[in-house]
Structure 1
Amino acid sequence: MGPVEIEEKRGLSMIKPELLAPAGSREALVAAVQNGADAVYLGGRQFNARRGADNFDGAALAQAVEYAHVRGVKVYVTVNILLADTELREAVRFLHTVYNAGADAVIVQDLGLIRLARRVIPELELHASTQMTAHNVPGVLFLKDAGLRRVVLARELALDAVREIKERTGVQVETFVHGALCICYSGQCLMSSMIGGRSGNRGRCAQPCRLEYRLVDDRGVPVADSALVGEYLLSPRDLNLSRHIFELIEAGIDSFKIEGRMRRPEYVATVTRIYRSLIDRAAAGKDSTVSDEEAYELAQIFNRDFTTGYFFDVPGRQMMSCKRPNNRGTRLGRIRRYDRKTRRAQIELEAPLQVGDGIEVWVTRGGRVGAEVNELYVNGRKVESAPAGQVAALKLEGYIHPGDRVFKTHDVKLMEKAVQTFSSSRETRRIPLDFRVRARLGEPLLLEANDREGVTAGAYTKAAGEPAQKRALTAEFLAGQLDRLGNTPFVLGKLECDLDENVMLPVREINDVRRRVVEQIAAGRAGLRKPDPLPVAVIERKLAAVMNDGITEKVTGSSPLLAVAVSSAKAARAAVQSGAGLVYFGGDVYRRRGKITVSEVRRVRQVCREAGTEFYLATPRILHDRELEQYLSYLKTLLEVAPDGVLVAGYGMLPTLRQLTDLPVVTDFPLNVFNRQSAYFLKERGVRRVTLSPELTGEQIKHLAGDAAAATEVIVHGTLPLMVTRYCAVGSLLGGRGDGDGCTAPCRKGSFALLDRKGVVFPVETDSNCLMHIFNSRELCLLETLPYLARAGPAVLRIEARREDDAYVARVTETYRWVLDSIMSKTSNLPDLTTVVQELTARGPGYTRGHYYRGVLE
């Protein structure tokens, strides 16, 4: 699309979006600012989701905000993790530090922190992290009503859905446009946590999605050819929307976000510079087509191959980097000849190569051979560089054969180009200053300046003007002196002069007054958005008051209700007959099981009513707006069976349900209740009971269950979902999903799992909306801890059995009912729980106590 077409299509009202760049270190901050970012996001040394980045301590954070603000760049600070009760006070104090430093907003995930921030520091702007899984209009409105000014949308949204959310909510929306993708909906991943103890919700993800997996059937037999499709089945390509800038701008997206706080500053510099140019060209109606050079640089600086993600369709394996989970580099050519004696390889170059570059050979056997080019030869002559089309020779060691592909993984020229932008004392980002000079004989020279944002400054020279002996002051001379701003972020704009004839002052006086005026301007710009500091005493008083909100007397001794979550009538009947006091029915229903019918719901409702068992409908975790519309008509019919309540697993369902019914609402574990303030936040919005995060320890559970502001529920048994993803490995690898002909739905015909490199099997299910759910290899079993948990005060203990048949449900429910009754009867004849657990879990692949003992706090 050329500039004329763009101009005609966009008219004259296109608003340029913010370009938001990552700053995981001081160098990356400078790189982002100097290459054109409108805003940066960075983290402190704690409370953020990129704990592996360098990050900023208190003093460095204040310096970072000042550096950015002087140059007209906003700063958003990430506090985007779940927080324990023991951390909340310090987290609020950190928010106070952030506010007083002048940061423009804080990016948050934790509901409890949101509650505290709105009450203690209401002046502080809050943005909802992508960790909050905002993916539909009601969910975004829920967050808006909670006081969040901007929402970072889930990466799984189509561009049309983003546009609709923007139009229907009026909230600021931020979307990722470049960088690494999570395969799971952000904020919903327990995989790193459960199998490695490092929680993504705590900023310590170990990236298990980048490891090797094979798709297998229920017998453990591989069903996809790894040699053909690859073995990194959960490793997405990197997002790259550089070719779609105009469409993104037209959709009304407020902020384009570059992922990469763990990336080197050279990466930040390169990607930011290119997107800056593309956005400026598109917004000005110029040709925003990505040039060959820009495309090369984006690929060269880092790529796992590229994808447009879910913006334009729901891709299959075209979105995945199944054969390689790390940087691919750019194609350089093929090995033409290899001499094993001299270890010299000849490469037919398809792109330039020079000394200092890094290359990697994809060898036939043995994976990859990497090397830095130290010496390079063309036609036997030693050279510093070789152009495309030449045959270059260099030393390589490894199992190399003619025909092997060669990739450039490090371009020394590109890196030097990037480094120059953040290592030089001369800034590339320059802010025009307009100067006015008045010079009179016998009076000090007056120098005044102002920027385009209204910051003004002025100062007098220490010496007075004197008659010129050789050369009088002129506008041209003053322009030369005033434009000597090389080590500042400023550049001379307009210059107005009011000069007596034949007046002069020493150059050192002019330079001195220029320096003082520029320092004043810089200080003025640094304070332009800096608020009046909030006193510590005020914050502490408000914090103490709000932390005591809703505290109730400790709840202990009462018998908790035993709940079972199921998805079939037979399983529900088994739960009721085996002693369940509450049945959750439905929710994420898996394709292999088939859709739950209204008549089936009526039958289950009747079984529960006859037995005096509570009956709650469960709703799915992920419902995009189109899916939500379809689901609501179904839900309205289900509500006619008069359930006792509803279990919800996403923010969007909370306001939606309130428009349909006044039934009690319980929130499920995907809402990540990790502290009592989060529980109280939900209680204030009409929630009857909250399910606690499965990442909590027994001690944390006792603290929350005993005196939480809302009634609590704890999952004690079942195979928990570790990931939910819009990418479906079964459909993509076996059903043709993403190939344009639709999916043949192989998920309906069999059971599947992912087999990792250690032989561990993770069951896989797909639901009615074609989302893939990956389950833990071992079932959670907290039976041995039941004496402790039962007396801790939770209102409900739940068995998760939505994947299970009636026999499993009966066996597990009977066991928990028996043990729970024994505990609550306060007899001394408790069964040997270790033996009971072994018998209960003997038929499965083993069990885990989850985070009951180890937790996720470090």
Structure 2
Amino acid sequence: MAELLAPAGSLENVLTAIDAGADAVYFGGKAFNARKFAHNLSDEEIGKAVRTAHLFGVKVYVTVNILMADAELKDLTAYLQTLDAFGVDGIIVQDLAVAALARKVAPNLPLHGSTQMTVADLDGVRFLEENGFTQAVLSRELSADEIKAICAQSSIPIEVFIHGASCMAYSGQCLMSSFLGGRSGNRGACAQPCRQPYTLLCDGKPVMKHEAYVLSLKDLRALDYIDDLLDAGVTSFKIEGRMKGDTYVRTVVQAYRKVIDAHYQSPQGRKKAHAEAAALLEEAFNRTYQDDFLAGRVSRSTLTEHNPSGRQKADDIAGGLSRKLTVYGHVDTAEDGKLRLTAWDENGHTAVVTADFVPEAARQRPATAEYIKGQLGRLGDTPFTLADVTVWDETKMIPASVLNGLRRQAVEALTETILAEYPRPAAGQAPEAAVCKVEQKPEKVQIVVRCDSVDGVAAAADNGADVIIFGGESYHHHPFGTQSWQAAVRAAHEQGVQLWAGTPRIVRENQRHAVQSELERAVAAGIDGVYAGAMAIFAMLRDLNSDLPVRADWSLNIFNSKAAAAYAALGCTGITASVEAMLRQMREMARSCSCPIEAVVQGRVEMMVTESCVISSFAGKGRKNGCPGVCNHGAYELRDRRDETFPVVTDQYCRNHILNSRDLDLAPYYKDLVRAGLAAIRIEGRGRSPQWLKEQVRRYRRLCDGTETMLLGKEDQTVTRGHFFHGIL
């Protein structure tokens, strides 16, 4: 059976979700979760939530879904052990360091791959399963057909979002809040700059008459797709909303409960349930609704454009837990004559308790069945309600205090019996260490250059690059054909430079074949290695039986030394640190990890990668399907209210990449990079001219060779130093 998974930002939300009919709830603790500014639950509240949920057969998943700093791993260890002791049914994870630590210190904790892992295809799901995960949360951008294809071949449960707020960027791949204000979505502190207004520019001129909320998506409402997703084999239907209140939780859970239950009824029953659910959802907080990604019809209407703040018709009031477990009782005496109460529920759980009291014949007021039922039925705020009681003898005298004591004992004993028999899901298996070609740490710092044209490869190779990354997502929005790969390899190898294949940050199910075909062309052309930009790439390379070395790219969000070690254990021969990592964090990675550590130090950092296309929405026909390719005609930017402009480029998969307004530039701090133990520094040069690449590669070549004599200014306000010296929330 599929589960309806409800959000909870507080213990009250947990109780409300259970009462409304959720099969599972998810929430975060006071630390280590991606809703830093929600109320969240204390350890004591988590324990209570787990006990209450399990009594009703409701699963509990705890979000441990942020990137961890090395300094947090000790506290994280204790927290994971606490969650394991509470018996939670799974933890939702983004950072492979959390998964590796959990397998070591709390091996019974099932691992769920968060949507922050950006898993959007079957190969990504396979990667999670092979690394001990028991459930995968897919990216929200997938169509219903893609989800169906994944479910048909996946051997682990698949979880999809069906309702609530949606991020403009692919989850786990958004750095806009991080680089604009130091509040990282990957650390649970997103300031939501996507909900601010922007103006789209083409060649410096406004495309729009007025600024608009061009990066703000309407809320997801998958109501009309529930039957299709159930038929497709989706296991878990997830509602977003850990920052919302009780009314939202109750209303949305009740709505989807109706539709899921009606799936197994007559067509008339389904139609009625859908109508009732739709009416309920209109009462819940929303920014108006869309299901465009599921339908595969992303357009301007997918955006809120004029109304990002949302609306709420119903008062957001708290509600108590009224859902109860029906129990029955029988009162008699044990072999020693003492009063005994046997209690059981409808699932066969039984508890037997006795009182230190021997009943005697009543002189005046005998304890009738009605009287005993009245005393035992005073179950108050317990999770039980008494349906009936039978009594062996209605002629005895039994004080109310004795019956009250039996009632309390029975509640406690039956609770423990139910919890003891609760079927906690099994954890996954730990992966075996990979065997891969070993790449030695270079004696000198390598200069790595990423570019997306053959001319760019030649410029980088001719001017001192050691390694060139070619392929993956192109800012020139063209595919990399066989001739391009052959020419790029030739241009690099003629100068004694290695050429590695870059791969996309996003691999969607309907693009798996295209990505794998490009990898095959690259391998056939004679590349020297592969940079894995997404988890799916590891499974693809294994299918190709490739023994080429693999480096983990920065889009895998490697933020600490344990995550670096986890990728090294998977066979990676090099690690590119997260662009959110500070230099001291990279120093710890370099000190602790056997792999060479690389850092992006020059060029435009990607703020967002989005499936929704702001260019086609406002400069084209308003929709992606049938777009005339307006992105090919002009340079597009987004301008915010501070007059900062962010370039918008489109790749060959028709995705937008929103770049930072300023170039990252760490050249003045080259000696600090060397002292940190970095083995390689990268220039991000996609979309840049051969002349720009020539100048930047020469600049860093002189620094690496020790021939740079010009004074490099450290107070240049036209560039950014990223997070190398200033951390993130």
- TM-score, reference length from structure 1: 0.79
Q: Tell me, yes or no, if structure 1 residue 681 matches structure 2 residue 566.
A: yes
One of 318, 325, 329 as aligned partner of 2:301: 318
Residue of structure 2 in register with 1:437 after alignment? 331
Describe the superposition over 1:337-376 as per-residue Cα deviations: whole angstroms up to 9, x where unpaired: xxxxxxxxxxxxxxxxxxxxxxxxxxxxxxxxxxxxxxxx
Matched, 1:650 2:534: yes
Q: What are the Cα deviations for residues 400-425 of structure 1, in whole angstroms up to 9, with x where unaligned?
A: xxxxxxxxxx434xx4xx53x32xxx
Check if 1:705 corresponds to 2:606.
Answer: no
- Residue of structure 2 aligned with 1:848, choices 717, 720, 729: 720
**What does 1:59-98 correspond to in 2, within 5 Å?**
59-98=44-83
Report the more deviating stretch, 24-33 or 644-653: 24-33
Structure 1's 593 and 488: CA in aligned 2 closer, same or farther, altered over 3 A? Answer: closer
Pairwise CA distance, 1:222: 1.2
- Aligned partner of 1:605 in structure 2 is 489
Find the residue that maps to 2:53 and give its secondary structure: helix
Q: Are the structure 2 counterparts of residues 113 and 100 from structure 1 closer, same or farther at C-alpha, using a change threshold of 3 Å?
A: same
Taking the TM superposition and a 5 Å limit, the aligned residue runs for 1:590-629 are 590=475, 592=476, 594-629=478-513
CA RMSD of the aligned region, Å?
A: 2.6
In the alignment, does 2:606 pair up with 1:721?
yes
> CA 1:440–1:574 in 2, change beyond 3 Å: closer, same or farther?
closer
Alpha-carbon deviation of 1:700? 1.5
Aligned residue number for residue 446 of structure 1: 340
The reply to whether residue 831 of structure 1 matches residue 710 of structure 2 is yes
Report the counterpart of residue 407 of structure 2 in structure 1. Answer: 514
- 1:276-305 deviations in Å (ceiling 9; x for gaps): 233223345533545666434423331100
Q: 2:550 matched to which residue of 1?
A: 665
Amino acid at match of 2:322: T
Confirm whether residue 465 of structure 1 aligns to residue 449 of structure 2: no
Letter in 2 for 1:689: G
Retained in 2: the 8 A contact 1:432–1:490? yes
Q: Quick one: which amino acid aligns to residue 190 of structure 1?
A: L
- Alpha-carbon separation, structure 2, partners of 1:38 and 1:767: 40
Q: 1:429–1:802: structure 2 CA closer, same or farther, 3 Å change rule?
A: same
Pairing of 1:274-285 with structure 2 (within 5 A): 274-285=255-266
Matches within 5 A, 1:266-277: 266-277=247-258
1:196-275 alignment runs, 5 A limit:
196-219=181-204, 221-226=205-210, 231-275=212-256
Distance 1:433 1:821, change over 3 A: same
Q: 1:140 to 1:291 in 2, by over 3 A?
A: closer
Q: Which residue number in structure 2 is paired with residue 386 of structure 1?
A: none
Q: Confirm or deny that 1:117 pairs with 2:11.
A: no
CA distance, structure 2, for counterparts of residue 431 and residue 84 of structure 1: 43
CA contact (8 A) 1:281 1:287 kept: yes
Provide the secondary structure at the position in 2 that maps to 1:233. Answer: strand
Within 2, Cα distance between the matches of 1:235 and 1:137?
28
Residues 442 and 466 of structure 1 are in contact (CA less than 8 Å); yes or no, is this contact kept in structure 2?
Answer: no
Q: 1:31-65 deviations in whole A, cap 9, x for unaligned?
A: 22222222211111111111101112222322222
In structure 2, C-alpha distance between the alignment counterparts of 1:768 and 1:657, rounded to whole Å: 21
Q: Which has the larger radius of gyration?
A: 1
Distance change (3 Å), C-alpha of 1:138 and 1:293: closer
Distance in 1 separating the partners of 2:400 and 2:188: 55
Query: In terms of mean alpha carbon deviation, does 118-127 or 573-582 score higher?
Result: 118-127
More displaced, 257-266 or 443-452? 443-452
- The answer to whether the 8 A contact 1:819-1:831 is kept is no
- Asked if 2 retains the 8 angstrom alpha-carbon contact of 1:440 and 1:499, the reply is no
Q: For 1:471 and 1:785, how far apart are their aligned partners in 2?
A: 91
Residue 701 of structure 2 is aligned to residue 814 of structure 1: no
Counterpart of 1:301 (choices 277, 284, 287) is 284
Q: What does residue 22 of structure 2 align with?
A: 37
Deviations 1:494-516 (A, max 9, x none): 65x35246445344433432232
Shift of 1:771: 0.9
Gap change, CA 1:830 and 1:787, over 3 Å in 2: farther
8 Å CA contact retained: 1:716, 1:797: yes
In the alignment, the residues of structure 1 paired with residue 200 and residue 394 of structure 2 have an alpha-carbon distance, to the nearest angstrom, of 87
Structure 1 counterpart of 2:39: 54
Q: SS of the counterpart of 1:611?
A: coil
Give the residue type in structure 2 aligned to 1:120.
V
User: Does residue 148 in structure 1 map to residue 27 in structure 2?
Assistant: no
Equivalent residues of 1:698, 1:852 under 8 A apart: yes
Deviations 1:311-333 (A, max 9, x none): 1223212211110111134xxxx
C-alpha distance 299-141 of structure 1, shift in aligned 2 (>3 A): same
Displacement of 1:263 in angstroms is: 0.9
Distance of 2:147 and 2:541 partners within structure 1: 23
Does residue 579 (structure 1) correspond to residue 464 (structure 2)? The answer is yes
Q: Separation in 2 of the partners of 1:283 and 1:521?
A: 32
Distance 1:644 1:244, change over 3 A: closer
Instruction: Report the 3-state secondary structure (helix = DSSP H, G, I; strand = E; otherwise coil) of the residue aligned with 2:51.
Output: helix
Could you tell me which amino acid in structure 2 is paired with residue 565 of structure 1? R
TM-score, length basis structure 2? 0.92
Instruction: Look up the SS of the partner of 1:195 in the other structure.
Output: helix
Alignment-mate amino acid for residue 224 of structure 1: M
Task: Name the counterpart of 2:150.
Answer: 165
| Residues 442, 465 of structure 1: 8 Å contact kept | no
Structure-2 separation of matches of 1:556 and 1:459: 68
Shift of 1:785: 1.0
**How is 1:244-643 mapped onto 2 (pairs within 5 angstroms)?**
244-285=225-266, 286-287=269-270, 289-290=272-273, 294-329=277-312, 410-412=313-315, 415=316, 419=318, 421-422=319-320, 427-438=321-332, 443-469=337-363, 475=369, 478-493=372-387, 495=389, 497=390, 499-500=392-393, 502-529=395-422, 558-590=443-475, 592=476, 594-643=478-527
Matched pairs, number: 714
Q: Does 1:99 align with 2:84?
A: yes
Tell me the distance in 2 between the aligned counterparts of 1:292 and 1:305. Answer: 17
Mapped contact 2:221–2:289 kept (Cα < 8 A)? yes
1:113 is aligned with what amino acid?
A: V
Contact (CA 8 Å) 1:445, 1:465: kept in 2 or not? yes
1:184 matched to 2:169 = yes
Deviations 1:94-135 (A, max 9, x none): 101111122221111111221122123221111111111111
In structure 2, relative to structure 1, the CA distance for the partners of 1:31 and 1:809 (3 Å cut) is same
Cα distance in structure 2, aligned partners of 1:780 and 1:323: 33
Whole-angstrom distance in 2 between the partners of 1:479 and 1:787 = 81
Q: Is the 8 A contact 1:21 1:272 kept in 2?
A: yes
Identity over aligned residues, as a percent? 37
1:750 pairs with one of 628, 631, 634: 634
CA drift of 1:455 comes to 3.1
Deviation at residue 262 of structure 1 after TM alignment: 1.0
The alpha carbon displacement at 1:478 in A equals 4.5
Please give the secondary structure, in 2, of the residue aligned with 1:53.
coil
Give how far 1:174 is off: 1.2
2:478 is paired with a residue whose SS is coil
Q: Tell me: CA distance 1:58–1:501, structure 2 relative to 1, closer, same or farther (3 Å).
A: closer
Asked whether 1:774 is paired with 2:658, we answer yes
In 2: Cα distance, 1:493 partner to 1:435 partner = 8
The code of the aligned residue for 1:459 comes to V
Give 1:678 deviation, angstroms.
1.3
Q: Distance in 2 between matches of 1:755 and 1:51?
A: 29
